[in-house]
């Protein structure tokens, strides 16, 4: 099934929602219109039973060339502070929604990824890119500070020295370097990218969805906590997930301890079978 909001498009196939920035002629720059369409698309997909994983990718040669310098910056500034704040709410809003999405999310970075693009990049739980992709905090090149979370993303994902160099120099890096630096999980040749992402998404789809949501939130939350706070948070999150899907956990234990049909250290239990 396909849906098209003009600036955004998606298809759902085999449990995977392929959500695409769809302004290839503008290198998928994020305009206010695109930002609103993304929020609508995320709403439509989040609780669909046939969606287990969401992949965010781009049409054409770009993943996203960042914020639209004309429609997001120049035209909203013409409407004063009210216009600026509204545009910021709309973009930051769907990135935040994506950070805490119900389903696991994967950024499939097929090409250009600049500036504001780092917001949705970080919002996705995992990220895979093409060796041919190009990343950059390009803001310095046109004279602004990397806002909208972009500086925070660099500091979260890169070492201090790399984040500082990346933000201050505005030099682009290729996909392999992005993987080496930790901006993405992995970089592969563009021709292999969709297969690799499909493989990872299919594996996620085999895992317990209640536990997946608990884990992805926990990984994002505990970074800012003391050890004791994290220990307490994780204990409660684990119990909440258990009570939400107690049968799944018991079945996982049963298949290992009683049935001896799998080893949890080496793979996941078979969710299609319940005792
Ligand atoms: N905002 C607005 N328009 C953009 C854009 C952006 N961020 N990125 C690309 N476009 C537009 C171009 O203005 C051009 O429009 P036109 O066809 O009406 O003239 C069209 O997209 C194609 O861009 P072009 O520069 O010709 O494509 P390219 O493939 O040669 O280069 C980039 C691609 C991404 C390297 C280049 O477009 C670029 O540097 N974009 C800005 C990236 C950036 O600094 N983003 C940070 C914003 S926070």
pLDDT at 24: 98
Q: Which of 65, 70, 118, 149 to mutate to test the pocket of ligand 1 (most atoms within 8 A of CB)?
A: 65
Tens-digit pLDDT profile for residues 149-197: 999 999 999 999 999 999 999 999 999 999 999 999 999 999 999 999 9
Q: How far is the CA of 188 from the centre of ligand 1 (A)?
A: 24
Tens-digit pLDDT profile for residues 13-48: 999 999 999 999 999 999 999 999 999 999 999 999
Q: Kindly report the CA angle at 228 between 224 and 211, in degrees rounded to 5? A: 70
> Which DSSP symbol is given to 67?
B
Instruction: Report whether 121 contacts 107 (CB < 8 A).
Output: yes
pLDDT at 275: 53
Residue 2 clears pLDDT 70, i.e. is over it: no
Residue 5: band (very low, low, confident or very high) from pLDDT cuts 50, 70, 90: low
Residue 243: band (very low, low, confident or very high) from pLDDT cuts 50, 70, 90: confident
Q: How far is the CA of 148 from the centre of ligand 1 (A)?
A: 19
Ligand 1 atom 34 nearest Cα? 65
Q: How far is the CA of 28 from the centre of ligand 1 (A)?
A: 9
Q: How far is the CA of 253 from the centre of ligand 1 (A)?
A: 53
Atom of ligand 1 nearest to the CA of 112: 34
Computed over every residue of the chain, the mean pLDDT equals 95
pTM, two decimals, is 0.95
More confident call, 271 vs 19 = 19
Tens-digit pLDDT profile for residues 75-124: 999 999 999 999 999 999 999 999 999 999 999 999 999 999 999 999 99
Residue indicated by tokens 């999405």? 101
Q: How far is the CA of 26 from the centre of ligand 1 (A)?
A: 6
Ligand 1 atom 11 nearest Cα? 26
pLDDT at 1: 39
Nearest CA to 58 out of 84, 38, 76, 81 is that of: 38
Instruction: Report whether 168 contacts 146 (CB < 8 A).
Output: no
β-pair partners for 112 = 62, 134
What is the percent of the chain where pLDDT is above 90?
Answer: 89
As a whole number of angstroms, the distance between CA 97 and CA 204 comes to 20
Tens-digit pLDDT profile for residues 214-240: 999 999 999 999 999 999 999 999 999
pLDDT at 48: 98
What is the percent of the chain where pLDDT is above 70?
Answer: 97
Pocket of ligand 1 (CB under 6 A): 26-27, 29, 61, 65-70, 112, 114-116, 138-139
């Amino acid at each position: 099934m396909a849906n098209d909001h003009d600036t955004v498009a998606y298809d759902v196939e085999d449990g995977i929602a392929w959500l695409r920035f769809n302004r290839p002629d503008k290198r998928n720059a994020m305009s206010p219109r695109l930002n609103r369409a993304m929020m609508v698309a995320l709403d439509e997909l989040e609780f669909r039973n046939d969606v287990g994983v969401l992949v965010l990718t781009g049409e054409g040669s770009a993943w996203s060339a960042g914020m639209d310098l004309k429609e997001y910056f120049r035209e909203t500034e013409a409407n004063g502070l009210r216009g600026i704040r509204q545009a910021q709410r709309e973009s930051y809003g769907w990135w935040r929604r994506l950070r805490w999405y119900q389903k696991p999310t994967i950024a499939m970075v097929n090409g250009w990824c600049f500036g504001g693009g780092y917001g949705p990049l970080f919002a996705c739980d995992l990220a895979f890119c093409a060796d041919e992709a190009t990343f950059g905090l390009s803001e310095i090149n046109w004279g602004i500070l990397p806002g909208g979370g972009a500086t925070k993303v660099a500091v979260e994902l890169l070492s201090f020295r790399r984040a500082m160099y990346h933000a201050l120099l505005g030099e682009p890096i290729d996909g392999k370097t992005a993987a080496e630096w930790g901006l993405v999980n992995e970089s592969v040749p563009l021709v292999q990218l969709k297969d690799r992402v499909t493989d990872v998404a299919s594996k996620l789809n085999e895992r317990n969805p209640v536990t997946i949501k608990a884990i992805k939130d926990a990984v994002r939350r505990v970074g800012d906590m003391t050890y004791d706070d994290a220990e307490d948070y994780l204990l409660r999150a684990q119990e909440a997930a258990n009570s939400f899907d107690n049968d799944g956990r018991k079945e996982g234990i049963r298949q290992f301890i009683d049935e001896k049909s799998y080893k949890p250290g080496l793979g996941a239990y078979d969710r299609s079978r319940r005792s």
